[in-house]
């Protein structure tokens, strides 16, 4: 089997930039053999491929909704959370051919941009066929919702039927949608998982609903014909309200977190039985829906991990993870590029439980090779 040597302008190994002149040595399938100094690799040798740009491991998209890809450009921007949710509900069930073709195109675009693994939310089995053909790794999260306590068992059985369609994939799991859409009774049915995930505090209205029982979320339930007369607000934030009921998991990926506070993080830390939290940032989706941004300084100083996601094409213009990286850097210029690239690679692999194979240039791994030139990334191996 042949050997390939790559000497980029800069080499990022998943944790940090290596010393100048470092050469990545792989076999022709992309399996990492070594990282050598320029001298040890024979810098001027004909077998050293010189790459203009930053070479980094394959990207990890920790939060996506592939099955909503047909909604690209069809959901208005900056409407706020409740109008966005209603628009998705009204438009998500189009013809199967359109849905399939849109998912295929989105999968291919992610692959070409250098994404190697996706944590994907599944409400149906629509994405199974595309994922079986994909060249990326999918961690499938079967999402369950149901805020009315009496419907918990029926909603869980529906999720189990979707789960069966994903049995050929590694470790699919049933996960809660969000605090405002999952009853305590439904939370109690969720099994332990190696990795779980939940949409968290994506808008001020979500916290308002739990703190005071008021706000647009009442309009949401009225619009979809759900009687929530049973609900009594716990007078805490949404995250604090559901902390005692979260499913057991090795890792818990909390997604969006635009309204997460110091008190929320402290409350999490007080409950030692909780799974390890990872805060997933989907900044372009936050801007698309609410014109908001997450409290990045607070989250990165919490002592917990950060990772990146794209959300769906209903709430984003593309599933380009590198666009998420540079949107973060544009809004938070104090962030080092090295740190955000870590969130996009090794941290994401750790959160999804894939770091044994992906996320970093470590001997024996086959993480994919991505070349970053300017603000655009492309897969090279």
Task: Report yes or no: 319 and 308 within 8 Å, Cβ to Cβ.
Answer: no
Q: Which two tokens stand for residue 11?
A: 């080499």
For 141, phi and psi rounded to 5 degrees? -105, 110
The pLDDT, as a whole number, for residue 276 is 79
With 0-12 / 13-18 / 19 or more C-beta atoms within 10 angstroms meaning exposed / middle / buried, residue 378 is middle
The predicted-structure confidence for 352-379, as pLDDT tens digits, reads as follows 999 999 999 999 999 999 999 999 999 9
pLDDT for the residue 1: 65
Q: What is the pLDDT of residue 237?
A: 98
As a whole number of angstroms, the distance between CA 320 and CA 336 comes to 20
Q: Are 275 and 251 in contact (CB under 8 A)?
A: yes
Q: Check residue 334 and give its pLDDT.
A: 97
pLDDT in tens, 70-101: 999 999 999 999 999 999 999 888 889 999 99
pLDDT digits (tens, 9 = 90+) for 206-224: 999 999 999 999 999 999 9
At 38, the pLDDT band (50, 70, 90 cuts) reads confident
Question: In whole angstroms, what is the distance from residue 367 CA to residue 379 CA?
Answer: 11
Over residues 132-176, the pLDDT tens digits come to 999 999 999 999 999 999 999 999 999 999 999 999 999 999 999
Indicate if the pLDDT at residue 44 is higher than 80.
no
Q: Nearest-CA neighbor of 190 among 144, 124, 141, 154? A: 144
| φ and ψ at residue 200, rounded to 5 degrees | -140, 125
Please write the tens of the pLDDT for every residue from 221-266. Answer: 999 999 999 999 999 999 999 999 999 899 999 999 999 999 999 9
Domains in the chain, start-ordered, CATH in brackets? 1-57+360-381 (2.30.40.10), 59-358 (3.20.20.140)
Share of the chain above pLDDT 70, in %: 99
Q: Does pLDDT of 42 surpass 80?
A: no
The SS3 of residue 277 is strand
Distance of CA 169 to the CA centre of its chain: 18
The CA R_g of the chain, rounded to the nearest whole Å, is 21
**Long-range contacts, 219-226 (Cβ 8 Å, 24+):** 219/82, 220/82, 220/85, 220/86, 221/147, 223/86, 224/86, 224/89, 226/147, 226/148
**pLDDT of res. 43:** 62
d(CA 359, CA 368): 8
Q: Among 251, 133, 137, which residue's Cα sits nearest to residue 192?
A: 251
- Identify the CA nearest to 281 among candidates 211, 206, 202, 227: 202
Please determine, for residue 47, whether its predicted confidence score (pLDDT) is greater than 90. Answer: no
Residue spans of alpha helices (H) in the chain: 38-41, 81-91, 96-113, 128-133, 152-165, 184-189, 204-212, 216-223, 238-242, 262-270, 283-290, 296-300, 321-331, 337-344, 346-351
The residue count of the chain comes to 381
Mean pLDDT (the chain) is: 96
Strands 276-281 and 249-256: parallel
Neighbours of 323 (CB within 10 A): 19
The reported pLDDT for the residue numbered 275 is 79
**DSSP secondary structure string for all residues of 29-53:** T--EEEEE-HHHHTTTSTTEEEEEE
User: Which two tokens mark 232?
Assistant: 């009594």
> pLDDT of 263-310, one tens digit each?
999 999 898 678 779 999 999 999 999 999 999 999 999 999 999 999
In which band, very low, low, confident or very high, does the pLDDT at 16 lie, cut at 50, 70 and 90? very high
Distance of alpha carbon 321 from alpha carbon 118, whole angstroms:
11
Please write the tens of the pLDDT for every residue from 100-132.
999 999 999 999 999 999 999 999 999 999 999
Strand partners, 118: 61, 138
pLDDT value, residue 272:
64
Residue 317: both structure tokens together: 């213009």
Is the pLDDT reported for residue 320 higher than 80?
A: yes
């Amino acid at each position: 089997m042949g050997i390939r040597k790559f000497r980029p302008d800069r080499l990022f190994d998943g944790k940090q930039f290596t010393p100048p002149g470092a050469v990545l040595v792989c076999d022709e399938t992309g399996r990492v053999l070594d990282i050598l100094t320029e001298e040890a690799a024979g810098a001027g040798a004909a077998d050293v491929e010189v790459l203009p740009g930053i070479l980094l491991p394959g990207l990890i998209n920790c939060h996506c909704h592939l099955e909503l890809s047909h909604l690209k450009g069809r959901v208005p921007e900056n409407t706020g959370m409740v109008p966005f949710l209603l628009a998705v509900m009204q438009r998500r069930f189009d013809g199967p051919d359109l849905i399939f073709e849109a998912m295929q195109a989105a999968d291919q675009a992610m692959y070409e941009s250098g994404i190697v693994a996706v944590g994907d939310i599944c409400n149906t089995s629509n994405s199974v066929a595309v994922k079986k053909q994909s060249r990326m790794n999918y961690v499938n999260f079967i999402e369950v919702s149901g805020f009315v306590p009496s419907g918990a068992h029926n909603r869980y059985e529906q999720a189990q039927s979707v789960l069966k369609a994903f049995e050929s994939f590694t470790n699919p799991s049933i996960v809660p949608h969000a605090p405002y859409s999952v009853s305590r009774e439904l939370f109690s049915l969720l099994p332990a998982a190696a990795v779980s995930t939940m949409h968290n505090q994506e808008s001020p209205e979500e916290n308002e609903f739990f703190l005071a029982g008021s706000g647009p979320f009442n309009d949401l339930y009225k619009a979809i014909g759900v009687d929530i007369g049973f609900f009594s607000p716990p007078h805490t934030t949404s995250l604090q309200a559901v902390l005692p009921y979260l499913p057991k998991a090795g890792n818990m990926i909390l997604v969006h977190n635009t309204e997460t506070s110091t008190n929320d993080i402290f409350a999490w830390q007080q409950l030692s039985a909780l799974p390890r939290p990872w805060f997933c940032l989907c900044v372009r989706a936050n801007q698309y829906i609410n014109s908001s941004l997450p409290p990045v300084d607070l989250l990165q100083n919490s002592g917990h991990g950060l990772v990146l996601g794209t959300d769906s094409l209903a709430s984003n213009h593309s599933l380009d993870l590198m666009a998420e990286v540079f949107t973060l850097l544009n809004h938070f210029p104090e962030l080092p590029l090295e740190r955000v690239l870590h969130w996009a690679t090794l941290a994401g692999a750790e959160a999804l439980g894939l770091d044994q194979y992906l996320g970093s240039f470590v001997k024996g791994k086959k993480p994919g090779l991505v070349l970053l030139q300017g603000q655009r990334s492309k897969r090279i191996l």
